[in-house]
Amino acid sequence: MLETGRLNAWASLFLCAVIFSLYSVSLGHDFLFDEVNIIIRNPAIKRVEMFPEIFRHGFFQLRSGQDEAWQAYYRPLTTLSFAVDFRFWKGNPLGYNLTNVFLHGAVCLLFFRLTLLLLGDSLAAFSSAFIYAVHTVPVEAVTYLASRSDLLAALILTASMLLFLRSRFGTALALYVLSLFAKESAVLLPFYLTFLEWAFGEKNGKRSYLKLAPFFAMALLPVCQIVHFYPEWAEHYLYVPAMGIAILAGCLMKSLFKHKR
């Protein structure tokens, strides 16, 4: 057990090193496109006394003549993370990009823990996490600062999935609510949990419904509709859904390793 834990720790360190090596090339770019609107032109992140404004306005800073539909994006948790960055880095994009790389690393480490729990095989779990970490699907979410919402939502959702599988349903539900303030598409968590329960759960229909019911109920509450009333089903950010493909890859790896043994 101790040896397995040590190997998993080294695997985690190697995963972090690979992620930083791959994404270090993105650390030098300046603010691009929506990043200027969200960060440079956002007065709410620049002074502590302005922080309450983060919760009163949308994600984007509207200018005269701009479509008010942009105000429908409500991601105060993501904006708060930019406020923290601003306290340390001001207008230097390096720090903001470092935070994104760090968040991606944290997501991948949590995903490694999740696949360990699901697959029960260190090598298969590491293969799954490695594929997810280095694949091209997450690149835009990591390198484009405006997509930090994907990273934050994924971090919280992965933690929620871990806690759900460990039967800590109350904390998992609380994290689900928190994730909705990072990105609207986090509302899909109940469907991810349904897939995990169907594929890896105890196959007890009634008990599964009871465990999942609060998550679906929360997604339908009017208070949550305020958070995600402009969902982005059609966007090309597949940061969280890509985890499902990586889990399937891990299952395949586990079968191959088992066959060879």
Range of the domain at 109: 9-45+77-260
Q: Which of 132, 193, 199 is nearest to 166 (CA)?
A: 193
Number of H helices, E strands in the chain: 13, 0
Q: Read off the tokens for 210.
A: 């009871």
Cα(135)–Cα(242) distance, rounded to whole angstroms? 9
Residue 39 burial (10 A CB sphere; 0-12, 13-18, 19+): buried
Query: Is 55 inside a domain boundary?
Result: no
Instruction: State the amino acid at position 160 in one-letter form.
Output: S
Query: Is 56 inside a domain boundary?
Result: no
Cα(247)–Cα(120) distance, rounded to whole angstroms? 12
* Cβ 79 vs Cβ 59: under 8 Å: yes
Coil, helix or strand at residue 101: helix
Query: Is 4 inside a domain boundary?
Result: no
* Cβ 113 vs Cβ 69: under 8 Å: no
Total domains, the chain: 1
Residue 156 burial (10 A CB sphere; 0-12, 13-18, 19+): buried
Q: Average pLDDT per run of 10 along the chain, which is 261 residues long?
A: 73 92 84 77 76 71 53 80 87 88 94 91 88 88 86 94 92 93 86 85 71 86 53 57 81 70 56
Cα(209)–Cα(178) distance, rounded to whole angstroms? 22
Query: Is 28 inside a domain boundary?
Result: yes
* Cβ 23 vs Cβ 144: under 8 Å: no
Query: Is 58 inside a domain boundary?
Result: no
Query: Is 242 inside a domain boundary?
Result: yes
Coil, helix or strand at residue 221: coil
Buried b (16+ CB within 10 A) or exposed e, 71-102: eebbbbbbbbbbbebbeebeeebebbbbbbbe
Instruction: State the amino acid at position 22 in one-letter form.
Output: L
Determine the pLDDT at residue 152: 93
Determine the pLDDT at residue 71: 61
What backbone torsions phi and psi does residue 92 show, to the nearest 5 degrees? -90, 115
Cα(74)–Cα(7) distance, rounded to whole angstroms? 41
Query: Is 69 inside a domain boundary?
Result: no
Determine the pLDDT at residue 174: 94
Cα(40)–Cα(53) distance, rounded to whole angstroms? 16
Query: Is 177 inside a domain boundary?
Result: yes
Non-local (6+) Cβ contacts of 160 within 8 A are 172, 173, 175, 176, 179, 189
Coil, helix or strand at residue 54: helix
* Cβ 38 vs Cβ 100: under 8 Å: no
Determine the pLDDT at residue 236: 47
